[in-house]
Amino acid sequence: MKRLISLTRLILLISLFHHITISLFAEDWIVPPDKAEKTAPFVFSKESVEKGAELFVKNCQSCHGDPTRGNFAKLDPTPEDPASEKFKELTDGEMFYKITNGRGTMPQFKMILSEDDRWDLISYIRSFHSGYIQPEPELTSMTGAGERASMTILFDSLSKMVTISVYTVKNDMKSPVKGAEVLFFVKRYFGNLSLGDAVRTNEEGIISYPFPDGIAGDSTGQLTLIAQLNESSGYGNAKKAILVPLGVPTEWISLTAPRAMWNINFKAPVWLILSYSLTVLGVLLALVYIMLQIRKIFYLGSAVDDAKSDKP
Ligand code: HEC
């Protein structure tokens, strides 16, 4: 009897401990300070709220319910109503971090939603927080972020520089975009080779890009350079390609050439083919021999039976 009591006590203690650790954990979702300071790359607008509303119904409503109604799913820890004080207290950066990385039941949306989508969602959630004032967007441009930008790409053979110009067009007026991020790639058979971190446009909306040394080109050193706006800058994803003669001349092996990885002819040396064939032949002969022996035993057996039954 005493034992039973101490056993129930132990179970009680363990479950209490478990509960305490769970609730401690649930309260401590700490976002790294530099991530918490992050701000949206565009000014929240009616459009971003509308886009966010659509995304919310598809991706979040099942758990978080309809904002202001408190009809979120009964999970532990609770998802909470996005219109709640708890959500309001988060910085934009914290919200972005939590949506991006998830935790436990809260899914990770890093691979599911683009960065712009995640900011649209935050813009929608903020529309329920009275008195919310959006902090300065991360990239201030001369034209105002959120517009689709266009891009030109030029190669100057004298200075060996690639020049990118990023601008928006409004009423036939071109305005340069400052601080737009551009990613560089070299075209390859399968996918593109990234040339490293994004580069930002200067005050005039221009990037002077010194093409890196030692990148393989075709047999004459030509290669296709691709410049693409980083979508998370909030200016769309305009893309331009240009042929530049700055690669290292390289003879690429044709995919159908005998040396290519998936060509099986010409690869095996004669001695290997011969010894392989002989081994296979040997094994087959051994099998035939064994089968013949079994047949012999069978006939011998029936001959003995015949002899027995002949005797009276
Ligand atoms: C499968 C259920 C589920 C879905 C779907 C879901 N969430 Fe969550 N969410 C949760 C849970 C549970 C928590 C609490 C997690 C914790 O505290 O460990 C949470 C927490 C959060 C938080 C942090 C709240 C805080 O107080 O720190 C934010 C922000 C959030 N969710 C936003 C979203 C958004 C935006 C979407 C849609 C893109 C979404 N969630 C989709 C379950 C979900």
User: Is 95 near ligand 1, meaning CB less than 6 Å away?
Assistant: yes
**What are 231's two structure tokens?**
């979508």
User: Is 103 near ligand 1, meaning CB less than 6 Å away?
Assistant: yes
> Is the distance from CB of 124 to CB of 134 less than 8 angstroms?
no
Mind listing the pLDDT tens digit for each residue in 232-272? 777 888 888 888 888 888 887 766 666 555 555 556 778 88
User: Is 59 near ligand 1, meaning CB less than 6 Å away?
Assistant: yes
Work out whether the CA dihedral 285, 287, 288, 293 comes out positive or negative.
Answer: positive
Mind listing the pLDDT tens digit for each residue in 89-126? 999 999 999 999 999 999 999 989 988 899 999 999 99
Domains (range + CATH), the chain? 30-126 (1.10.760.10), 150-244 (2.60.40)
84-90: average pLDDT: 94
What is the pTM assigned to this prediction? Answer: 0.50
In a 13 Å sphere around the CA of 111, the CA atoms on its Cβ side amount to 2
- The whole-angstrom separation of Cα 168 and Cα 170 is 7
Mutate to test the pocket of ligand 1, among 64, 80, 118 (most ligand atoms within 8 A of CB): 64
